[in-house]
Amino acid sequence: MADDQEPTGRTSVELFAGGGGLAMAVHRAGFRPLLLNEYVKHACDTLEANGAVPRGEDERIPEAGEPWPLVRGDVRDLKMGYLQGEVDLLAGGPPCQPFSLGGVAKGDEDKRNMFPEMFRAIREIQPKAVICENVRGLLRPSFKPYFDYILRELEFPFEERDPAATWLQHDALLRTKAQQGTTDSLERYRVFKFEVNAADYGVPQIRNRVIIIAFRGDLDIDETILHDAVKKTHSEEALLHSLSTGTYWERHAKVPKHVRDHVSKGVQSELSITNDKLKPWRTLRDAIAGFDGEREPLPQIKWDKLDRVQYDDMPLDHIGWPDARIYPGHTPNVLDRPAKTVKAGVHGVPGGESVMLTDSRVSGLKSPSGQRYRHRYMTVRETARVMTFPDEWRLSGPRGEQMRQLGNAVPVLLGEVFAKAVAKVLDEVENRT
The DSSP bridge pattern shows strands 208-216 and 371-377 to be: unpaired
What strand order describes the sheet that includes 53-54? 53-54, 69-72, 31-38, 10-15, 89-92, 129-135, 208-216, 189-197
333 touches 339 (CB < 8 A): yes
Which of the residues 47, 70, 71, 96 is marked catalytic? 96
Secondary structure of residue 270 in the 3-state scheme: helix
347-to-82, 227, 328, 354, 405 alpha-carbon distances in Å = 38, 38, 20, 12, 11
Question: How many angstroms separate the CA atoms of 57 and 382, rounded?
Answer: 38
Q: What is the DSSP string of 18-85?
A: TTSHHHHHHHHTTEEEEEEEE--HHHHHHHHHTT-EE-TT---PPPTTSPPEEEES-GGG---GGGTT
Long-range contacts of 318-321 (CB under 8 A, 24+ apart): 318/379, 318/380, 318/381, 318/382, 319/379, 319/380, 319/381, 319/399, 320/376, 320/377, 320/379, 321/376, 321/377, 321/379, 321/399
92 touches 22 (CB < 8 A): yes
User: How many beta carbons lie within 10 A of that of residue 182, not counting itself?
Assistant: 8
61 touches 82 (CB < 8 A): yes
Residues in CB range of 29: below 8 A, 6 or more apart: 416, 419, 420, 422, 423
Whether the CA torsion 213, 217, 222, 223 is positive or negative: it is: positive
User: Catalytic residue at 96?
Assistant: yes
Secondary structure of residue 235 in the 3-state scheme: strand
The DSSP bridge pattern shows strands 129-135 and 208-216 to be: antiparallel
- Looking at residue 192, the DSSP 8-state letter turns out to be E
Backbone phi and psi for residue 226, each to the nearest 5 degrees, phi listed first: -60, -50
192 touches 212 (CB < 8 A): yes
> 259: closest CA among 267, 314, 66?
267
Question: How many angstroms separate the CA atoms of 383 and 102, rounded?
Answer: 37
Residues taking part in catalysis? 96
